[in-house]
Chain A
Amino acid sequence: MIDLSLLPDGGMSWLEASGPGSHMVVSTRVRLARNLQRHRFTTRNEPAERDAILGEVERAASETRGLGRAVRFRVDRLDTLDRQLLLERHLISRELAATDPSLRVRAGSGLLVQDQASVMVNEEDHLRLQALRSGFALDAAWDLVAALDSELGQRLGFAFHPEFGYLTSCPTNVGTGLRASVLVHLPGLVLTKEINKILQALSQVGLTFRGLYGEGSEVVGNLFQLSNQTTLGKSEQELLDQLSKLVRQVMEHEERSRQILLRDATAILEDKVWRAYGLLRYARTLSFEETMNLLSGVRLGVGLGLIPNVALYTLNKLLVFTQSAHLAAAQGRALADDEVPIRRAAYVRRILEEEVGRSPPNPGAPTT
C-alpha cells in the first residue's frame, strides 16, 4: 500500500477549513488541460508513446520550482486500492483511477504532487495541471496553476492554435483549457426547496454543477461542485470572475435560506442537526451516503452556531477518511463489503469522541 504521508502535507491542506468562506465552501479547484504538440492525444496513442510523454513531463517538471520536489506516482503500477485512495483524496480523476472492475488502468498514467499543486499525466489530455485550495480561493488556486503552466510551457511544447487557443482531446475543453470549480455546501437551499431554481439559473449563464468527484459523480451530502461550462471565448480571468461572482450570489442565497430556516423553523432545524450529530456519535454501522448526509446536517449546525465546538476541519477530514479505501488503509488491509459500514461508524465515533475530549459540546444548552 502506498504511503500518502510521504506527501508534504499528506496532500490534505485543502481540508484545513482555513480559507475564506470555509463555513460554506469546502474547497476550490482550478485545472488546466494541456497537450504536447508532438504527440498524438490519449485516445490515439500507444503505451510506448505514453511512456515517452510521462518521461518528458517528469524531466521538465524536475526543473521547475512548482514541481521540482514533487512526489511521483506511476498510477498504472498501483493496485486498485491505492488508486482508489488517490481518487478519494481528489488527487486523480475517476478516469485515471479506473477502479471500476470493467476498466483497465491506462498504461503510462502518472501523477506528480507538490504541496497544493499536482499534475495528472496521460489522462484524457497529456497533462492536467491542478491546484486545490481550502475554502473559496479561486485567485490563489489560479495563481498556483498558472505558475505551473508557465514553467512547464517553457520546457514542453504545448499544442496551441492561434485562433482556438490550447488544443484538447475533447473539444469541450479547447481554448483556455480551464475548469475552475468550487465545492459548496448548500443544505439551506435544499431544505427550502430553492436549489432547483438556483441550479437552473446557473445553467443558463454557463455554469454547471457536479457531485463530489466531478463529472458524472453524484451529489451527496448537499455538496455541489459549481464550475464553468465553457472554456473558449472568454479569458481565464473573465471565466474566474464570472464563477466567483455567481458563487458569491449562490452563497448569499444559501445564507438567506439558512436565516429563514433559523427564524421560522428553529425547533425543527435544531432537532435535525442534533439528530444528525447523535447518529454519527453513536451509530454502529454507517453507509457512505448516510454519513455524508449526516455530516451535512452537523456542518449546517456548526455553520449556524447551533452545535458548538465541532471544528469544520474535523468534518472535512471525515468527508475523506470515511471513504472505503481510507478505511481500508487505516486497517492496513482490504475490507470485506459488510465490514466497511462497521469500520466507518467506529471511525466516526472515535473522531467525534476525541473532539468532545478537547472541548465538550453541550447538547442541553438552549440556543434560543
Chain B
Amino acid sequence: MKCSNCGEREGVVSLTQIIEGDVRTVSLCAKCAEEKGIETGVGVAETPLGGFLAALQESADPDAPLTAALEARCDGCGATLRDFRESGRVGCAECYHSFDAPLRELLRRLHGSTHHTGQRYTGVAALPVLAPPATLRELRDQLRRAIEAEQFELAAELRDRLRESE
C-alpha cells in the first residue's frame, strides 16, 4: 500500500486513528511517519542503537571509535554493527556475544531488562547426563570466546558469574 500522506513511497507503518468513533487505519512511509513523530517498527530497533552510537561518538576522539565500532565483525557470521543498524536484524546467535555491550543496552531499552527469567533451555536431550549443566558449559564457552575476542570487561563479568555458579 502506498503512503497515505505523500502517496509516493511504500507504506511501512500502519497508523490507526479513531475519529468520531470510526476506526481508520492509514499507511505511512518511513519518512512521513518520522515527520509525524511516529516510530516505525525498524525505528524502534534503530533508535536505541543510534543513541548508543551517538554516545560513542561523543567520547574523546570523535570519528575513530565510531567507525571502529561500526565496522567490527561478528566472529560467527561476519556481520557488522552497521549491518545491524541498517537491517534491524541480528546475523547469528554469536552476534549477541560479539556485540554484547550495544545489544545489552538495546535489550535494556526495549524490554526494561536484560535478564531472562523464563524457561531455561537445557539443550538437546541426547547429551549424556554426566555433562555439566548447560548454563555452566555455556558460560565457559562464552568466557573463552570473550578472551579470544579481547572483550576483557565481558570476560571479567563472565568469570565472576562462573565463580558464583560453581
On A, residues with C-beta under 8 Å from B are 35, 37, 39-44, 102, 124, 146, 153-172, 174-176, 178, 190-193, 195-196, 209, 211, 215-220, 222, 230-236, 238-239
Q: Would you call B53 an interface residue if the criterion is a C-beta within 8 Å of the partner chain's C-beta atoms?
A: no
Question: Is the beta-carbon distance between B117 and A155 smaller than 8 angstroms?
Answer: no
Q: Quick one: given A166-B116, A175-B118, are A35 and B93 in contact (CB under 8 Å)? A: yes
Give the contact-size bracket for chain B: 35 or more
Additional A-B contact list (14), CB under 8 Å, known A161-B116, A170-B89: A41-B90, A44-B79, A153-B124, A160-B134, A161-B93, A161-B97, A164-B107, A171-B107, A172-B45, A217-B14, A233-B112, A233-B115, A238-B117, A239-B118
Q: With a CB–CB cut-off of 8 A, which chain B residues contact A196?
A: 18
Question: Is the beta-carbon distance between A157 and B124 smaller than 8 angstroms?
Answer: yes
Question: Is the beta-carbon distance between A176 and B116 smaller than 8 angstroms?
Answer: yes
Q: With a CB–CB cut-off of 8 A, which chain B residues contact A163?
A: 114-116
Question: Is the beta-carbon distance between A172 and B110 smaller than 8 angstroms?
Answer: yes
Q: Quick one: given A154-B125, A170-B88, A176-B119, are A195 and B18 in contact (CB under 8 Å)? A: yes
CB distance from B96 to the nearest CB of A (A): 5
B60-88 residues with Cβ-Cβ distance < 8 A to A are 76-79, 83, 87-88
When C-beta atoms are compared, the residue in chain B nearest to A221 turns out to be B23
When C-beta atoms are compared, the residue in chain B nearest to A158 turns out to be B121
When C-beta atoms are compared, the residue in chain B nearest to A149 turns out to be B119
Question: Is the beta-carbon distance between A175 and B116 smaller than 8 angstroms?
Answer: yes
CB distance from B15 to the nearest CB of A (A): 10
Q: Quick one: given A40-B91, A172-B44, are A211 and B138 in contact (CB under 8 Å)? A: no
When C-beta atoms are compared, the residue in chain B nearest to A161 turns out to be B96
CA distance A32 to B130 in the complex (A): 29
Question: Is the beta-carbon distance between B23 and A235 smaller than 8 angstroms?
Answer: no
Q: With a CB–CB cut-off of 8 A, which chain B residues contact A166?
A: 116, 121
Q: With a CB–CB cut-off of 8 A, which chain B residues contact A175?
A: 111, 116, 118
Question: Is the beta-carbon distance between B96 and A167 smaller than 8 angstroms?
Answer: yes
Question: Is the beta-carbon distance between B107 and A232 smaller than 8 angstroms?
Answer: yes
CB distance from A32 to the nearest CB of B (A): 10
Q: With a CB–CB cut-off of 8 A, which chain B residues contact A236?
A: 118-119
Report 16 cross-chain contacts, Cβ distance below 8 Å, ordered by A residue: A40-B92, A43-B91, A161-B138, A164-B107, A167-B90, A170-B89, A170-B90, A175-B116, A178-B118, A192-B21, A193-B20, A211-B14, A217-B14, A219-B16, A219-B25, A233-B117
Question: Is the beta-carbon distance between B21 and A190 smaller than 8 angstroms?
Answer: yes
CA distance A55 to B97 in the complex (A): 27
Main secondary structure of the interface of A (DSSP, over half): loop
CA distance A230 to B106 in the complex (A): 13
CA distance A157 to B76 in the complex (A): 16
Q: With a CB–CB cut-off of 8 A, which chain B residues contact A146?
A: 119
Q: With a CB–CB cut-off of 8 A, which chain B residues contact A35?
A: 93
- 3 interchain residue pairs of minimum CB distance: A165-B116, A233-B113, A159-B93
When C-beta atoms are compared, the residue in chain A nearest to B11 turns out to be A216
A162 contact from B27, B107, B119, B135, Cβ within 8 A: B135
Question: Is the beta-carbon distance between A41 and B92 smaller than 8 angstroms?
Answer: yes
Question: Is the beta-carbon distance between A190 and B23 smaller than 8 angstroms?
Answer: yes
Question: Is the beta-carbon distance between B96 and A154 smaller than 8 angstroms?
Answer: no
For B32-51 the 0/1 string (1 means CB < 8 A from A) is 00000000010011000000
Q: With a CB–CB cut-off of 8 A, which chain B residues contact A209?
A: 16
Q: Would you call B103 an interface residue if the criterion is a C-beta within 8 Å of the partner chain's C-beta atoms?
A: yes
Q: Quick one: given A153-B121, A154-B125, A190-B18, are A232 and B114 in contact (CB under 8 Å)? A: yes
CA distance A238 to B92 in the complex (A): 28
When C-beta atoms are compared, the residue in chain B nearest to A167 turns out to be B93
When C-beta atoms are compared, the residue in chain A nearest to B21 turns out to be A193
CB distance from B108 to the nearest CB of A (A): 9
B107 contact from A124, A174, A195, Cβ within 8 A: A174
Q: Would you call B128 an interface residue if the criterion is a C-beta within 8 Å of the partner chain's C-beta atoms?
A: no
CA distance A35 to B77 in the complex (A): 14
CB distance from B52 to the nearest CB of A (A): 12
CB distance from A235 to the nearest CB of B (A): 4
CB distance from A257 to the nearest CB of B (A): 11
Question: Is the beta-carbon distance between B89 and A124 smaller than 8 angstroms?
Answer: yes
CB distance from A237 to the nearest CB of B (A): 8
CA distance A193 to B20 in the complex (A): 7
Q: With a CB–CB cut-off of 8 A, which chain A residues contact B14?
A: 211, 216-218
B116 contact from A102, A164, A217, A218, Cβ within 8 A: A164
CB distance from A93 to the nearest CB of B (A): 13
CB distance from A59 to the nearest CB of B (A): 13
When C-beta atoms are compared, the residue in chain A nearest to B92 turns out to be A40
Q: With a CB–CB cut-off of 8 A, which chain B residues contact A158?
A: 121
Q: Would you call B132 an interface residue if the criterion is a C-beta within 8 Å of the partner chain's C-beta atoms?
A: no
Question: Is the beta-carbon distance between A230 and B110 smaller than 8 angstroms?
Answer: yes
Q: With a CB–CB cut-off of 8 A, which chain B residues contact A124?
A: 89
CB distance from A315 to the nearest CB of B (A): 19
